[in-house]
A and B are shown apart, each in its own frame.
Chain A
Amino acid sequence: MAMRKIPVLGGVALVIGLAGGAASAERYGIGRPATEAEIAAWNIDIDRDGRKLPPGRGSVSHGREVFEAQCASCHGSRGEGGIGERLAGGQGTLATSKPIKTVGSFWPYAPTLFDYIRRAMPMNAPQSLSDDDVYAVSGYVLHLNGLAPENAVFDARSLAAIRMPNRDGFVPDPRPDVGQ
């Protein structure tokens, strides 16, 4: 492969510290501008407060149907776990000698359910569910944890309104805590 020449910017030689110095503040003119449409299509992460949740809605009852068809084979029909992780139960166990970490007992933010299901689930076909189905399945998993009634319908507003039991359960890293 032929060596590619580094572009010279304005005739100024670039001095790059190899061992930790900051790179030049100059721009190289590499790459092309991203369009709004390109960004919108790839910008899928959902913040913890749910401000970035998309339009759409889904009911717990529809979520049960989607879950049975797409999720139960790994996670169990009641979210009890199997090939996939346990999703339900375990509230009140975190400070015991047998903590059970599930969506209901451990996850701090409900919008993260939407984010994770949409990007990564089901494991054999991620990003295959419609946003409506992701709302529905998110709602059903909350229902399995006693955090939503049978007749609930979830959308951006109602999903963001769910307060997860372990919302305040996370603390900053205090290390080094041992070994000094």
Chain B
Amino acid sequence: MSDDDTTIPARRRFLVQGAAAAVGAVAGSARAEEATPPGTPEWMKAPGADVGSQTYGTPSRFEAGLIRNVPKGLKQYTSASSRSPLQDLDGILTPNGLFYERHHGGIPDIDPARHRLLIHGLVERPLVLTMEDIRRFPSESHIYFLECSGNPGFEAIKGKTASDLVGLVSCAEWTGVRLATVLREAGVKPEAKWVVAEGADAAALTRSIPIEKCLDDALLVYSQNGERLRPQQGYPLRVLLPGFEGNMNVKWLRRLAVSAEPAYSREETSKYTDLMPDGTARQFTFVMEAKSIITRPSGTQRIAAGFHEITGIAWTGRGRIRGVQVTTDGGRTWQDAALQEPVLNRALTRFRLPWTWDGSPTTIASRAIDETGYVQPAFEDLTAVRGLKSFYHNNAVVPWRIAADGEVANGYA
């Protein structure tokens, strides 16, 4: 942003009494020169807002445009999704208010004092747990990404921004108890092979989780980035399955049924299954494979010739990101990007590559390589095997086309 674009408040008006202080200043159109040397800006000439004038802090009013990307014109918003604004975020942690949403029956308004978790089925001791009970178990905190399995569908790749394309991924530090700990409290019987998790939402969303995952790194979480889960993320309790597709991470968790078989619920038969060209559908496709996207420069941004730091995010449901390669010449050559430490297991990883744009049209893209050696595939390679109708688990390379005028646009389009 150039100095000339800078908007500064013309006048700030304060109520003297503490919590009632009016935080919003009166917007004005004072001259930019006042905040440019040798001027002195208005905000230095009077005290700012009082301590505690916001008891739960919100972003600067100048960041009011940084919001979830909510699709327009859907037939209904009860079962729908909204995306994180990836192109305007830094680092690897998604602010709780900008975490992507996918709900199947709306967002329930759950009183944690009345919420209960029932554990039954192939267990020695069926249990009812309160939220206070669950917080008494030994706790752990881990940073993990979550990604919707349809991010985006193979026929939904015409979006303009990074968020439009893959904004159904977010990352947070989750705190809770190992699911294994809670299951051992109930005493899992040897014949148990699955745990059926059910939400307390209006969809009573149900997914079956293999017992191996339940006894490995699965968590029951109640906190996200240090505070209690947001209602959109399952308040007061959700399942967190590192690396597994989003809808299995059942929110508003009310029931765990330990069983010998999956539930074969609607969500794991007719919904979250991947239709192949031969008419068969892949079922129980749990892991989100390695993926990356350049978030800057990205679609709808405009750059000038000269230096730019290319940056983006990479992740894999199979462990850690080993490397990210970036092309700035339409795929002819690929360079290794620098990975920002820490590179964490099943978390977003930030990558960066310094780049000087010479002003000629080109296409840039990134591809992730994970610790198993898996390389993020090109869209043509994925669809050659899976066709265009499988909808879920599209982890293809996302190309950005840069025009001579510096306009960045979707390279698929």
Residues of chain A whose beta carbon lies under 8 Å from any beta carbon of chain B = 4, 6-7, 14, 16, 18, 20, 22-23, 25, 27-28, 30-34, 38-39, 42-45, 47-48, 82-83, 94-95, 97, 99, 101, 103, 106-109, 112, 115-116, 119-120, 123, 126-127, 169-180
Residue of B nearest to A39 (CB): B120
Partner of A101, one of B127, B255, B275, B287: B275
By a CB distance below 8 angstroms, the chain A residues around B280 are: 169-171
Q: Are A30 and B269 in contact (CB under 8 A)?
A: no
Known contacts A28-B185, A123-B79, A123-B105, A180 near B375 by CB under 8 Å = yes
The answer to whether B15 has its CB under 8 Å from any CB of chain A is no
- What is the distance, in angstroms, from A125's C-beta to the closest C-beta of chain B? 9
Partner of B203, one of A44, A126, A176: A126
- What is the distance, in angstroms, from B245's C-beta to the closest C-beta of chain A? 11
By a CB distance below 8 angstroms, the chain B residues around A123 are: 76, 78-79, 105, 202
The answer to whether B281 has its CB under 8 Å from any CB of chain A is yes
By a CB distance below 8 angstroms, the chain A residues around B79 are: 123
5 closest residue pairs by CB, A with B: A95-B279, A94-B279, A34-B126, A119-B204, A116-B266
B 381-406 binary contact with A (CB < 8 Å = 1; else 0): 11011100100010100000000000
Cα(A45)–Cα(B386), bound, Å: 32
By a CB distance below 8 angstroms, the chain B residues around A28 are: 136-137, 185
Residue of B255, B266, B373, B375 contacting most chain A CB atoms (<10 Å): B266
Q: Are A112 and B184 in contact (CB under 8 A)?
A: no
Partner of A120, one of B137, B202, B270: B202
Q: Are B284 and A173 in contact (CB under 8 A)?
A: yes
By a CB distance below 8 angstroms, the chain B residues around A120 are: 104-105, 202-205, 266
Q: How large is the interface on B (under 10, 10 to 19, 20 to 34, 35 or more residues)?
A: 35 or more
Stretch from B48-56, B257-265, B322-330 forming part of the interface with A:
B257-265
Residue of A nearest to B183 (CB): A23
The answer to whether B133 has its CB under 8 Å from any CB of chain A is yes
Q: Are A33 and B127 in contact (CB under 8 A)?
A: yes
Cα(A161)–Cα(B8), bound, Å: 72
Secondary structure dominating the interface of A: loop
Residue of A nearest to B286 (CB): A173
Residue of A nearest to B141 (CB): A18
The answer to whether B14 has its CB under 8 Å from any CB of chain A is no
22 A–B pairs (Cβ distance < 8 Å), ordered by A: A7-B136, A23-B180, A23-B181, A28-B137, A31-B133, A33-B125, A34-B118, A34-B126, A34-B128, A38-B118, A94-B275, A94-B281, A99-B389, A101-B270, A109-B264, A126-B203, A170-B281, A175-B287, A177-B386, A178-B382, A179-B377, A179-B395
Cα(A109)–Cα(B268), bound, Å: 11
Cα(A109)–Cα(B377), bound, Å: 34
Residue of A nearest to B186 (CB): A31
B 116-137 binary contact with A (CB < 8 Å = 1; else 0): 0011100001111110010111
The answer to whether B350 has its CB under 8 Å from any CB of chain A is no
By a CB distance below 8 angstroms, the chain A residues around B376 are: 179
The answer to whether B101 has its CB under 8 Å from any CB of chain A is no
By a CB distance below 8 angstroms, the chain B residues around A34 are: 118-120, 126-128
Q: Are A178 and B181 in contact (CB under 8 A)?
A: no
Q: Are A107 and B270 in contact (CB under 8 A)?
A: yes
By a CB distance below 8 angstroms, the chain B residues around A27 are: 184-185, 187
- What is the distance, in angstroms, from A76's C-beta to the closest C-beta of chain B? 13
Q: Are A178 and B385 in contact (CB under 8 A)?
A: yes
The answer to whether B158 has its CB under 8 Å from any CB of chain A is no
By a CB distance below 8 angstroms, the chain A residues around B275 are: 94, 99, 101
Partner of B281, one of A7, A31, A127, A169: A169
Partner of B126, one of A39, A48, A175: A39
By a CB distance below 8 angstroms, the chain A residues around B184 are: 23, 25, 27
- What is the distance, in angstroms, from A79's C-beta to the closest C-beta of chain B? 14
Q: Are A173 and B282 in contact (CB under 8 A)?
A: yes
Q: Are B282 and A172 in contact (CB under 8 A)?
A: yes
By a CB distance below 8 angstroms, the chain B residues around A14 are: 138
Cα(A7)–Cα(B135), bound, Å: 12
Cα(A173)–Cα(B285), bound, Å: 5
The answer to whether B206 has its CB under 8 Å from any CB of chain A is yes
- What is the distance, in angstroms, from B196's C-beta to the closest C-beta of chain A? 6
The answer to whether B277 has its CB under 8 Å from any CB of chain A is yes
Cα(A85)–Cα(B393), bound, Å: 21
Known contacts A38-B128, A119-B206, A108 near B264 by CB under 8 Å = yes
Q: Are B257 and A170 in contact (CB under 8 A)?
A: no
Q: Are A180 and B374 in contact (CB under 8 A)?
A: yes
Cα(A101)–Cα(B275), bound, Å: 9
Q: Are B263 and A126 in contact (CB under 8 A)?
A: no
By a CB distance below 8 angstroms, the chain B residues around A107 are: 266, 269-270
Residue of A nearest to B76 (CB): A83
